[in-house]
Structure 1
Amino acid sequence: MHIDAHQHYWNPGRNDYGWLTPEQSTLYRPYGPSDLTGLRKRAGIGQTVVVQAAPTIEETRYLLSMARHEASIAGVVGWVPLLDAGAPALLADLAREPKFKGVRPMLQDLPDHHWINNPGLTPAIEALIEHDLAFDALIFTHHAEALAIFATRFPALRIVIDHGAKPPIRTGGAGRASWAEAMTQLAQLPQVYCKLSGLATEAAPGWTDATLRPYVDHLLASFGPGRLMWGSDWPVLNLNGDYLRWHASARALLEGLTEQEREAIFARNAMTFYRL
């Protein structure tokens, strides 16, 4: 059974998606499991990991409520106010939900690029470790140094970099060397994984397998097939691609691997990392 390690469900009518506006006509509507079922099955994806898209605990509970009644949702990565004094108790409560697997603080949207190393986060991070929960790092290249410091401080915390840290594919290579070096350095930390997701969104319209190959190859060389996991980033993916096209592209770009290595990227690594 293959796993999509990163996708979203949302309902704009809940009014806590600040980034999701009517101008984004492709995305500005409810997306739920029934919208993905046909695509999942055609791609051979049995289950998914649903990741938060709003910085609210209400959305986290919304996703967990959905997951209780939806067998295709293997896990939920939610949002928690990690700096709040009550964060450890909240995490303990959420950890009682079998499908609650980790948190994502949406680092890319925070004005302080070094927020991740705020000492006030320590109690919440220790609670994540205590309850065997994971940490999704939504970053750009300029966050990499701070994330490396954070990961070094908490070696027992499982961390995954979302979307390959959003490489500058669209700009035709500008900044690529800095991105590549950052990924190489982060990959030296053994508890840091990386998602093979979101790359189509970072490319210019009309992307091909050849467009993405240098970035996929570098992530593969850095993290190896044992610490990469495939994700769709659907429905955000619909801005510059589609589910079946990205799935086929990833399979083509990884065709040089052994069957076991591909199975790791498309299933086993997500199962291990998220404790599915």
Structure 2
Amino acid sequence: MIIDTHLHLIDRSRLAYPWLAGVPALNQDFLYATYEREARRLGITASLHMEVDVDPLEMEKETSEVARLAGQADSLLKGAIAACRPEEDGFSAYLERQEANGLIKGFRRVLHVMPDDLSEGATFRDNIRRLGGRRFTFDLCVLPHQIEKAIALADLAPDVPFILDHCGVPDIRAGAEHPWREHMSEIAQRANVTAKISGVVAYADEAWQVETLRPYVEHTIDVFGWDRVVWGSDWPVCTLGGNLSTWVGATHALLEGCSAEEKRKLLADNARRIWNLA
């Protein structure tokens, strides 16, 4: 059993994705039906939709689209990580509107394509604190040099459960492990941060092999421990380095020799606990 905690869906007939124009390989539709067919064959039994940085005016519309798909019979979709803008004064009202929506399990503000100081603003930080004591997680998608900014947020709001996306976005293509390795060890000391084993195939060159990924995946698991790691497909971004089946196969190869309990924690049990999934 696998719970996919990082699924993107792209439907250009329903939503606007301004950033897609700069990524031709992804500038097409990636629909639920396509994902579901392959996912079921791979043993994926539940998925969380991850926001896709739609036009800010359509953030709540994106959630409605996910709800429509989640409402279909026997849907894999069990929740959504919604887009948000903590740097804006309207965040508090937005948060209150989402509180009543059981589909929403957490939020993300993409940071790795934004100025480094975005998360240091007073409004941003005040709004992150507002998540404390609620049922929501907050996903951190940051570059290695920005992990220090993520650490500051984790320290600022110790009662907020943070999820560090994509093993901290290491530059695998360049073989760069420093300062990524040291920063990962440091952020892992924050008990309110969980790491997501996802995305790494998109950061490697086309000739990557399992051993190319191993130092980054294993270091992430080593420093966070088996109780604070979850798995995500990052579909369709993972297609930049193969496809969904390729990444699932690589994951199983990377986990060869691990115990059945360790595999269950990473692939399903931790996600079920963190997001209260049935």
TM-score by length of 1: 0.92
Displacement of 1:22 = 7.9
Pair 1:28-2:31 in alignment: no
CA 1:62–1:188: 2 relative to 1, 3 Å = same
Q: Superposed, which structure 2 residues align to 1:190-229 within 5 Å?
A: 190-229=191-230
- Distance in 2 separating the partners of 1:144 and 1:208: 26
- Which range is displaced more, 201-210 or 11-20? 11-20
Other structure's SS at 1:226 match: helix
Other structure's SS at 1:195 match: strand
Give per-residue Cα distances to partners, 1:162-200, cap 9 Å, x unaligned: 1111111101x23x1211001000000011011110110
CA contact (8 A) 1:16 1:54 kept: no
Q: What amino acid does structure 2 have at the position aligned with 1:150?
A: L
TM-score by length of 2: 0.92
| Identity rate, percent | 30
Other structure's SS at 1:74 match: strand
CA contact (8 A) 2:125 2:153 kept: no
CA contact (8 A) 1:88 1:123 kept: no
Pair 1:76-2:77 in alignment: no
Structure 1 residue runs without a partner (length 5+) = none
CA contact (8 A) 1:64 1:100 kept: no
Give per-residue Cα distances to partners, 1:140-168, cap 9 Å, x unaligned: 01111111111111000000111111111
Other structure's SS at 2:52 match: coil
**RMSD over equivalenced CA pairs, Å:** 1.7
Displacement of 1:16 = 2.7
Displacement of 1:262 = 0.4
- Distance in 1 separating the partners of 2:64 and 2:40: 27
Displacement of 1:108 = 0.8
- Distance in 1 separating the partners of 2:211 and 2:147: 26
Q: What amino acid does structure 2 have at the position aligned with 1:151?
A: A
Q: For this pair of structures, how many residues does the alignment match?
A: 272
Q: What amino acid does structure 2 have at the position aligned with 1:39?
A: E
CA contact (8 A) 2:119 2:125 kept: no
Structure 2 residue runs without a partner (length 5+) = none
Match of 2:138 in 1: 135
Match of 2:129 in 1: 126
Match of 2:110 in 1: 106
CA contact (8 A) 2:199 2:238 kept: yes
Q: Superposed, which structure 2 residues align to 1:81-100 within 5 Å?
A: 81-100=85-104
CA 1:269–1:234: 2 relative to 1, 3 Å = same
Q: What amino acid does structure 1 have at the position aligned with 2:46?
A: Q
| Structure 1 runs, 4 residues or longer, greater than 6 Å off | none
Displacement of 1:38 = 1.8
CA 1:208–1:63: 2 relative to 1, 3 Å = same
CA contact (8 A) 1:92 1:127 kept: no
Give per-residue Cα distances to partners, 1:44-93, cap 9 Å, x unaligned: 01011110112522333333343333631111011122233231222121
Match of 2:154 in 1: 151
Displacement of 1:273 = 1.9
Other structure's SS at 2:226 match: coil
